[in-house]
Amino acid sequence: MTSEQRVVLDPTSEQKPKSIPRAPRLASLEKRTIGLLDISKPKGNVFLDRVEQELRALGATVERFQKPTFAKLAPVDLRHEIATRCDAVVEALAD
Amino acid sequence: MSPSTSLPSGLVAFVKRDCPTCELVVPVLQQISAKASLTVYTQDDPTFPPGIPAVDDTALEQSWHHQIETVPTLIRVEGGEERERVLGWQREEWEALTGIPALGDGLPALRPGCGSLSVDPSREAELSVRFGGSKLHARRVELAALEDEMEAMYTRGWSDGLPVVPPTEKRVLEMLEGTTRAPDDVIATVPPDLVACTVEKVAINAVMAGCKPEYLLVVLAAVEAACTDRFNMHGVIATTMGVGPIIVVNGPIRRAIGMNSGMNVLGQGNRANATIGRALQLVVRNVGGGRPGEVDRATYGNPGKLGFCFAEDEESSPWGPLSADLGAEPGTSTVTVFAGEGPRNVIDQRSREPMSLARSLAATLRTVQHPKLAIGFDAMLVIGPEHARVLKEAGWSKEQLIERLTELLTMPGEEMMRGVDEMAEGMPESFRSQPVTKFRPGGLLVVHCGGSAGLFSAILGGWASGPKGSQPAVQEIRP
């Protein structure tokens, strides 16, 4: 290689991932709204039903959400709805 | 223009020894040199032309900056500004430009010149890198003096496991000659990182994959098609299933770039087939960030995830091209992307009538993913020329074939139930009392290619199908 060939072009996105701090952890579940997101994989609902029971027993309000398909990203409106209505979210991967 | 590249006032000529017209006008240049201020730039031999002190332009810097396309070129310069130029030898024009009468006595009145070395296709990209100021935006990565350039591609995480061609600026500029699109044109948003991908980034990865510039427009179309919501590249990357984007090329471009649609069509050995599919996967890896073990969660993957691209054999096909089945205008060059696995061979060396052959094909198609799972997965049936002949001789259209296969692949729901045949896997209870068809409408694609010997076809099993998974996407190839 000649010296000119020792310089190559970056094939990547050159993106620098932004660091986003985690949301503050909840001190208690009392009177908090917890979203449960079913990604539409088989039996995700079975898992989330049980999680819902446990959360209610701890005093939380539970809202259920579902992605239209596990194979694609959650639609932006769904993400917005969860973010505005819930204090925290639990997402169920399943199979 | 910087002072170093501006031309001296007076008369200026660009010549090369390897040009009969330049040889011819040597006496004329000597004649002019005796009467006026003449500067001669010589492109290939500083001792040429004899008897006149020439300026060495073997680096072609002046020739490139002054856009010399022909030698000899004669230019009149005043105060650093070009006023006039003549290409080749034209006595009257040379006399008018120089103001010197009776030039080149005894020479023909007219002789066209030769090509300037600065526009030689093999050197143009290099010159544009050296003198042009780059039109490319990608970050420059300088390799350390002791770093092996091939190893450097691996250590930076840019390789799919095989060696890649180092993407130097010269190579990328040459690659970009393969399209009329601007390097900063954004052509797709590449998952999983959802990155706006420019023509330049595709060209860089196409260089690395080993593409020739004439493949670039196919790669661009494949990236566009794969990054649609319809195809859902994000899901194809992230799934645990062993699928990847399979590219089928239709139309005149196949022959123009020398793609294989015949013997060993799904195998190795043809540069276009091998590198176009690889380029798409390198874009997904490097631009989109879709890497195995990260967002790519495949349990097995398949060897086609290094790149899987082939051309349909349209010339000897009894039917229209795959692209037309998906809505493209026949005769246009297209790519179709299909989320699929590696090929499964189907042997039937006995059938000479179409229904028997269809039964063999259906029996094997039934096993895609699982014989008791249906509707959720598409398949691409790759009909070999010898099987196509059986169907052609019986006068079967492609539609007829798909119709017969659909009938043969429709089973009573109760035979597909979970637990039937002592297999826990199967269709859920809600399908028990209805006929179940293996593939959704439009979920069985048929393409024609392969070697001319062998009573075989092949099946490429698909992934989660339809709007909730991946649908085959066709994209016209544009310049």
CA–CA dist A12, B283 (Å, integer): 8
Which CATH superfamily includes the segment(s) A31-95? Answer: Leucine Dehydrogenase, chain A, domain 1 (3.40.50.10860)
Q: Is B316 left (phi over 0), alpha (psi -120 to 50) or beta?
A: alpha
* Local confidence pLDDT in tens for the 479 residues of chain B: 455 788 999 999 999 999 999 999 999 999 999 999 999 999 999 999 998 989 999 999 999 999 999 999 999 999 889 999 999 999 999 999 999 999 999 999 999 999 999 988 777 777 877 887 778 999 999 999 999 999 999 999 999 999 999 999 999 999 999 999 999 999 999 999 999 999 999 999 999 999 999 999 999 999 999 999 999 999 999 999 999 999 999 999 999 999 999 999 999 999 999 999 999 999 999 999 999 999 999 999 999 999 999 999 999 999 999 999 999 998 999 999 999 999 999 999 999 999 999 999 999 999 999 999 999 999 999 999 999 999 999 999 999 999 999 999 999 999 999 999 999 999 999 999 999 999 999 999 999 999 999 999 999 999 999 999 999 999 999 99
Q: What is the 3-state secondary structure (H, E, C) of chain A?
A: CCHHHHEEECCCCCCCCCCCCCCCCCCCCCCCEEEEEECCCCCHHHHHHHHHHHHHHCCCEEEEEECCCCCCCCCHHHHHHHHHHCCEEEEECCC
Q: Is B211 a member of any domain?
A: yes
Together in a domain, B127 and B184: no
- Calculate the alpha carbon distances from B396 to B7, B321, B357, B402 in Å: 73, 15, 12, 10
Contact B42, B67 (CB under 8 A): no
Q: Which of B131, B146, B166 is the last residue of a domain?
A: B131
- Calculate the alpha carbon distances from B399 to B170, B290, B391, B396 in Å: 49, 37, 12, 8
Q: Does B168 touch chain A (CB under 8 A)?
A: yes
Return the residue in A6, A9, A39, A40 with the most chain B beta carbons within 10 A, the one to mutate for interface testing.
Answer: A9
Contact B41, B57 (CB under 8 A): yes
Q: Does B466 touch chain A (CB under 8 A)?
A: no
Together in a domain, B78 and B14: yes
Return the residue in A1, A8, A40, A43 with the most chain B beta carbons within 10 A, the one to mutate for interface testing.
Answer: A8
CA A1 to chain centre: 47
Q: Angle at the Cα of B119 (from B117 to B122), degrees rounded to 5? A: 85
Largest CA distance in chain A: 71
Q: Which chain A residues are within 8 Å of B288, Cβ to Cβ?
A: 13
pLDDT band at A3 (very low <50, low <70, confident <90, very high): low
Contact B104, B27 (CB under 8 A): yes
pLDDT score of B228? 96
pLDDT score of B227? 97
pLDDT score of B1? 47
Together in a domain, B206 and B319: yes
Q: Does B350 touch chain A (CB under 8 A)?
A: no
CA B204 to chain centre: 12
Q: What are the pLDDT digits (tens) for B342-356?
A: 999 999 999 999 999
Q: Is B145 a member of any domain?
A: no
Sign for the CA dihedral angle at B169, B173, B178, B184 comes to positive
Q: Is B238 a member of any domain?
A: yes
The length of chain A is: 95
CA–CA dist B354, B360 (Å, integer): 10
Burial class of residue B306, CB neighbours in 10 A (0-12, 13-18, 19+) = middle
Q: Which residue has the tokens 């006399």?
A: B95
Q: Dihedral of the CA atoms B76, B80, B83, B86 (nearest 10)?
A: 40
pLDDT score of A42? 85
- Interface size A-B, in CB pairs within 8 Å, comes to 89
Q: Which value, in Å, is the radius of gyration of the alpha carbons in chain A?
A: 20
CA–CA dist B277, B215 (Å, integer): 11
Q: Which residues contact B466 (CB under 8 A, 6 or more apart)?
A: B440, B443
* pLDDT of A1 higher than 60: no
Number of domains in chain B: 2
Together in a domain, B39 and B177: no
Give the closest residue to B390 by CA, choosing from B348, B445, B362: B348
Together in a domain, B328 and B212: yes
pTM score:
0.82
Q: Which chain A residues are within 8 Å of B289, Cβ to Cβ?
A: 12-13
Q: Which chain A residues are within 8 Å of B168, Cβ to Cβ?
A: 4-5, 7-9
Q: Does B471 touch chain A (CB under 8 A)?
A: no
Q: Does B158 touch chain A (CB under 8 A)?
A: yes
CA–CA dist B118, B198 (Å, integer): 29
Q: Which of B83, B116, B131 is the last residue of a domain?
A: B131
Q: Do the chains contact at A9 and B138, CB–CB below 8 Å?
A: yes
* Helix or strand run (H / E) with residue B375: none
Together in a domain, B197 and B110: no
Token code pair at residue B365: 């198609």
Structural domain harbouring B178: 157-476
Which CATH number covers residue B39? 3.40.30.10
Tell me the domain boundaries of chain A: 31-95
